[in-house]
Structure 1
Amino acid sequence: MKKSILMFALCLSGMAAMAQSTRTIKGAVVDKDGNPLPGATVEATNGAESAVVDADGTFTLEVPRWLNTATAKYAGMKNKKMKVQDGDMIFRMKPKQDRTWMINGVGGYIGGGDLDGTIVFGAMGAYLNDWGGYLKLLFCVNEDFAERPAVPTVTAGVTKRLTDFMYAYAGAGYTSVNYDEYEYGPSYGPYSCDGAAFDVGVIFRPYKHLSVNVGFTCNTDLEDCTNYIGQLGVGYIF
């Protein structure tokens, strides 16, 4: 009898020790828009424990108490690792290839050089990913528009994702730098020459299909004339 009681006590103590060595984590696995991802798995990082997410996107998993992180996995999505916490753990997963195209209308203003105060308009298209690219065209409109052809500034370069809603870009291209001076006398009128353009800027994505572009372009003939163009653009992301 005493032996049976001793064995029972040992079993209870073993179960208590086991209970103290594990913990239960729970939460949900969703996409970036908050939709549940049934069938996803949540695994103990560097552990053998795992759970399959239910139809409503929730899960419950018993893991070792020493475990610090858990990882959610789903086909077509980037793995998401989170630090284990006492409350609900919400894994927000992103597609492995979150490609985005953008087109913007651009307006701006020239400061400095012979075209100080000139209004600029144009368009910008971009491919936004972790790394992407863009193409921008700018035209100037001034009081001598009839005499000066609106030769565009054309730039192209790379984009880089900084956060989920912000991208940086930088590039270079061709421009025509206009002068107010007369090259061969008054009868010849204003003239222009080939030059280089350099671009930097930031693209914001404040809402799903809305983009806002803030940019700065420097046009120069690399000798005597330099124009600085500040720009603001608004467009559509698809």
Structure 2
Amino acid sequence: MKKVFFMLALALTSTAAMAQSTRIIKGAVVDKNGNPLPGATVEATNGAESTTVDADGTFSLEVSRWLNTATARYAGMRKKTLEVQDGDMVFRLSPKFEMDWFVNVVSGVVTMDSYNFYTDVPNTTYSLGLMGGFLGKNWGGYTKLLWTPNSSFASEPAVPTVTIGATKRVFSFMHAYAGVGYGKVSGADKEEYYYSNPGGDILYKYVSNNDAMAFDLGVIFRIKNHISANVGISWVTDFDQKNFYFSAGVGYVF
């Protein structure tokens, strides 16, 4: 009889020891918007225990009490590892190839190679345009169009400066961009002005509007969740004359 009691006590002790060596972790696996990801897997990091997430995105898994971290995986998503905790564990997974599209309204100042005869400084005007594209996790792309209205814009619309390029994430809130494209360079010189209009009332005169290359450089900022802003400079040149576009804009990320 004593032997039976001894064996029973040993069994109960072993069961209690086993119960103390494991724990139950529970929680949910969702996307970045909080939608459940049924079929995802949760596994003990560097362990053999794993489970499949239910239709409502929740899971429950018995693991070693000494487990420090658990990992969630789902097709097309980046895996996520969290430290094990007593409360609910929520794994928020992001797409492997995440990108955000944006559209900005842009305006700025243009400095042209045309001179005011009396002040001897380059002429300036303004520009309007649009900038749009996508911001990837690391790399992205964009297109920018800038118009410089002229005095007869209604009958002779200005040819836009068009640039296409790439974006590179620098910080979580900032992407650098660079690109190349096509535009028109406008310019005049004092000598041409002097012989074409000596003593007249016109202070400057454009004498060229040539095909040119455009080079772009700037940064795009992410402000909160759906607001974007950009600042930059575009250099338009036919390698004889040059125009500089200093621009800034604001828009929406979706």
Higher alpha-carbon Rg: 2
For residue 17 of structure 1, give the secondary structure of its aligned residue in structure 2. Answer: helix
C-alpha distance in structure 2 between counterparts of 1:63 and 1:45, whole Å: 10
Matched residue, 2:217: 199
Task: Say yes or no: does 1:159 pair with 2:167.
Answer: yes
Task: Say yes or no: does 1:219 pair with 2:235.
Answer: yes
Structure 1 counterpart of 2:42, one-letter code: V
Structure 1 counterpart of 2:178, one-letter code: A
State the shift of 1:216 in Å: 0.5
Structure 2 gaps of 5+ residues are 113-121, 198-204
Structure 2 counterpart of 1:14, one-letter code: S
Of residues 152-161 and 58-67 in structure 1, the stretch that sits farther from structure 2 once superposed is: 152-161
Q: Is the 8 A contact 2:161 2:183 kept in 1?
A: yes
State the shift of 1:90 in Å: 0.6
The TM-score, its normalising length taken from structure 1, stands at: 0.78
Q: Which of 124, 141, 144 is the equivalent residue of 2:131?
A: 124
* Number of residue equivalences: 233
Structure 2 counterpart of 1:18, one-letter code: M
CA gap 1:163/1:45 in 2 versus in 1, 3 angstroms = farther
CA gap 1:140/1:128 in 2 versus in 1, 3 angstroms = same
State the shift of 1:211 in Å: 4.8
For residue 173 of structure 1, give the secondary structure of its aligned residue in structure 2. Answer: strand
C-alpha distance in structure 1 between counterparts of 2:87 and 2:39, whole Å: 22
**Percent of residue pairs bearing the same amino acid type:** 49
Q: Is the 8 A contact 2:104 2:229 kept in 1?
A: no
Q: Is the 8 A contact 1:119 1:142 kept in 2?
A: no
CA gap 1:60/1:82 in 2 versus in 1, 3 angstroms = same
Question: What does the per-residue CA deviation read over 1:203-230, in whole Å, with 9 as the maximum and x for residues that have no partner?
Answer: 53744xx452313123154677562512
Q: Is the 8 A contact 2:150 2:157 kept in 1?
A: no
Structure 2 counterpart of 1:132, one-letter code: G
Matched residue, 1:12: 12
Q: Which of 144, 149, 152 is the equivalent residue of 1:136?
A: 144
For residue 26 of structure 2, give the secondary structure of its aligned residue in structure 1. Answer: strand
The TM-score, its normalising length taken from structure 2, stands at: 0.74
Structure 1 gaps of 5+ residues are none
